[in-house]
Copies of this chain bind each other. A is one copy, B any other.
Amino acid sequence: MKNIAVCLSPEMIHLFDLKDKAVVVVDILRATSSMVTGLGHGLSAIKPVASLDECRELGKNGYITAAERGGEKVEGFDIGNSPFSYMAEELKGRKVGITTTNGTLAISKSLEADHILIGAFLNINAVADRLRTLDKDVVIHCAGWKGSVNLEDTLFAGALIEILGDQFELTTDDAVMAQSLYRAHKNNLLETVANSAHAKRLAKFGVIKDIEFCVKFDEFAIVPYLADGELIK
């Protein structure tokens, strides 16, 4: 049977051997939710980069630029980190260069893996289907918040484990913990996520609408994956 493990923060990803594995990167609020939304709405590709400077360079080469730091859009870039800004008609067929506080870091720390998939509640069953067809052990890599674990990414990990059911073996305690957390909160997911530390940080910026959207299941039947440094579907 294939194994599934959960890394609760990029601070611990060095403890996992990612070689020959499928890694699902998740940053529910809001990087991976926005990536799924953008590719679901017709973006041709998303290029995650670590720094604001790299992102600015992409802007000079025809990319739409998306930059977020500490929950806010960075001045001088086209868009921020709200999934709603990825739905605009004029983005169709375009490429976006993106840099965020947590999500893009988690991607860059997953490069050793065979497959890097982008997960969110918005595409969770599509991700589950893909994992069933891949002949790989799985690590769910939670982006967290500046190194700390967070509720929303852990809840996603637990939900994905719950969906995959008996087809994967839970080999590490973090997978058991994530599943248990999801089972405890699946009937009040929005309320739980809205009370998370990160949601409270975001609430200052008036983005409750984003949070409501980011806990919706299966709005998109796509699985973004990394190929040659760009996310495509």
Task: Say if the beta carbon of A58 comes within 8 Å of chain B.
Answer: no
- Classify chain A's interface size: 20 to 34
CB pair A173–B185 under 8 Å, yes or no, is no
Among the 9-residue stretches A43-51, A125-133, A149-157, A218-226, the one with 4 or more Cβ atoms under 8 Å from chain B is: A149-157
Cβ distance A146 to chain B, nearest Cβ, rounded Å: 7
Complexed CA–CA distance, A198 and B176 (Å): 13
Complex interface: chain B residues within 8 A of A174 (CB) = 148-149
Cβ distance A74 to chain B, nearest Cβ, rounded Å: 23
Q: How many copies does the complex hold?
A: 2
Provide 19 A-B residue pairs closer than 8 Å at the C-beta atoms, listed in order of the A residue: A8-B149, A11-B15, A12-B12, A12-B147, A15-B146, A148-B173, A149-B174, A149-B177, A150-B173, A151-B173, A151-B177, A173-B196, A173-B197, A176-B196, A177-B177, A180-B181, A180-B185, A183-B184, A184-B184
**A interface residues (Cβ-Cβ under 8 A, vs B):** 8-9, 11-12, 15, 145-151, 154, 171-174, 176-177, 180-181, 183-185, 195-198
List 15 additional contacts besides A177-B177, A180-B184; criterion CB under 8 Å.
Answer: A8-B8, A8-B149, A9-B12, A11-B15, A12-B12, A12-B147, A12-B149, A15-B146, A15-B148, A151-B177, A154-B177, A172-B197, A173-B197, A173-B198, A176-B195
